[in-house]
Structure 1
Amino acid sequence: MKFMKAVFILFFLFSAPHISLADHAPSPVNELDDIADQALQMTKAGKYEEAKHLLNHFSEEFTVQSMHQSFSMDELRILTISHNLALETINQTNSGIEQKVNAVTRFRLVMDALSSHYQPLWIEMEDPLMEAFNGVKSAAESGNSEQYHTELNLFLSKYNIIQPSIKLDIPVDQAQALDARISYLDHYRQKVLESTDAMAELTTLQSDLEHLFENKKEDEADPSLWWVIISTGSIIVSTLSYVGWRKYRGQGEAPSSERQKN
């Protein structure tokens, strides 16, 4: 019983600093992320005035907190462009609900990519993006030109949503290579469709997209969690070793005491 109490006390002492860090007050970046999320929820609900208010509030808070000092020039540029596009689309009366949701989602994913180093929200777009791409590939295989252009437009619209946040999370050369391949597919869509190498081009792009999501998923685990696991494991092993040594020593001293008494 004493041993279990000792293990519990040691575990609590070593894990307490980690717990206190996790429970601290939200940082300014996280607060801005929450505002971006609320703006998206309002947009999805069709409450555009509330969404517009939140987007303006985001801009005000960003300026007041001088958060631009925490970001690189590229990060600031991507965030500013996505925010302006979201606000502009919300204000356009001729923009449909899908356009508004897509624009604010794009901004939301960018802010999430800046505030979270693990499990970025954009990887949740894998299924709809790959489903749209499979539609492009299927149409190309069947040679259906009209369906091919329709499916390609759908794929491009979905990729456009995550493209800015991807740039924030992957190496520059990888992002540029992926953009170049997709731009080529867009600008030379009919040529690609009619080319004998069309399927090879699409297969290469498919491989790049799968590689994009697979690599990011491998980086999801927070290293601080592994630190706690390793530290806790070390504490328990050390405690067990010490208790075992004390028990062994006690057993060795018992016969010696009895001999002295005799």
Structure 2
Amino acid sequence: MKFKLIIFVFIMFLLAPLTINANHHQAPIDKLNQISDEALQMVKSTRYEDAKKLLEYFSNQFLSYTMEDHSFTMDELRIVTVAHNEAVEATTSTSMGHNERINRVTKFRLVIDAVTSTHQPLWTEMEGPIMTVYGGVKEAAINGDNENFHTRFNSFLSLYEVIYPSMKLDLEVEKIQQLDARINFIDHYRPRVLAEAASQAELVALENDLKNIFDEMTEDDADPSLWWVIISTGSIIILTLSYVGFRKYQGERELRREREKNRSRELKD
């Protein structure tokens, strides 16, 4: 029992510094991420004025951060600036619909996550909706359903536009260019895609490209900094189980010895 208590205390000792460091203070980069998320929640709740104030606050914080830390590339700064401007416009426009406002601020939210996160980015969570809509595009094309094809492909383009800036931050230029080429071909030659089996092959190729990209981005989402904790804690658990098994084996062996002694005494008596 004492040994188990010692092991428990030791594990807590190992994990305590991680908890303390995580809660001690919020890093500036994490603060930017949080502000973008709060702005999105404000827009979803139709609190556009509050969202605008948060985006203005973000702008000041982002400028301060970039002046102190020059870790962003020019491409990253450009993409963030464009996404931020579109998000601000979404909170001030009187003619923009609610769904379009959400899409614009979501785009901004995903961009900030892409430049601040080191592991699986949020934009990969859009895989389900995008692949579902795209499946409808392919089905409509195969069936020759003209109206449904145009409607579904336009919906796909709207969703794709939301994650496109974030993808540009995380993917190689060659992959983005390949996606652009396939999407532009399908968009520009819609009548051919509906009428020709050869052109419909581009639909299948684009679907495979999208699947591969999502699969690659979600393959390894574990934080490498946690592996030491996982390995050390796992080792402790294995040692604990081994020790308990060894103690149990020793106890059973002592019990057998005691029984044999008792039997020997009984035989002698």
1:23 is paired with a residue whose SS is: helix
Measured after TM superposition, the shift of residue 240 of structure 1 is 6.9
Structure 1: segments with no counterpart, 5+ residues:
252-262
Compare 180-189 and 104-113 and name the one that shifted more: 180-189
Is the Cα contact below 8 Å between 2:66 and 2:72 reproduced in 1? no
Compare 127-136 and 177-186 and name the one that shifted more: 177-186
Q: Deviations over 1:114-146 (max 9, x none)?
A: 222234221221121112111211210111222
Who is 1:136 aligned against?
137
Measured after TM superposition, the shift of residue 5 of structure 1 is 2.1
Is the Cα contact below 8 Å between 2:36 and 2:58 reproduced in 1? yes
Instruction: With a CA cutoff of 8 Å and minimum separation of 6, indicate the structure with the bigger relative contact order.
Output: 1
Q: Which protein shows a greater Rg?
A: 2
1:66 is paired with a residue whose SS is: helix
Measured after TM superposition, the shift of residue 181 of structure 1 is 1.7
Shift of the 242–97 alpha-carbon distance from structure 1 to 2, 3 Å rule, reads: closer
- The residue type equivalent to 2:56 in the other structure is N
Give distance in 1, aligned partners of 2:190 and 2:22: 49
Who is 1:52 aligned against?
52
Who is 2:26 aligned against?
26
- Report matched runs for 1:182-201 at 5 Å: 182-201=183-202
Who is 1:172 aligned against?
173
Who is 1:74 aligned against?
75
Measured after TM superposition, the shift of residue 238 of structure 1 is 5.4
Structure 2: segments with no counterpart, 5+ residues:
254-269
Is the Cα contact below 8 Å between 2:83 and 2:111 reproduced in 1? yes
Give distance in 2, aligned partners of 1:24 and 1:185: 51
Give distance in 1, aligned partners of 2:173 and 2:15: 37
Measured after TM superposition, the shift of residue 205 of structure 1 is 0.9
- Report matched runs for 1:12-161 at 5 Å: 12-66=12-66, 69-161=70-162
Give the TM-score normalised by the residue count of structure 2: 0.83
Paired residues, number: 250
Give distance in 2, aligned partners of 1:49 and 1:6: 55
What is the aligned-residue RMSD (CA, Å)? 2.5
1:221 is paired with a residue whose SS is: coil
Identity of aligned residues (%): 50
Who is 2:260 aligned against?
none
Give the TM-score normalised by the residue count of structure 1: 0.85
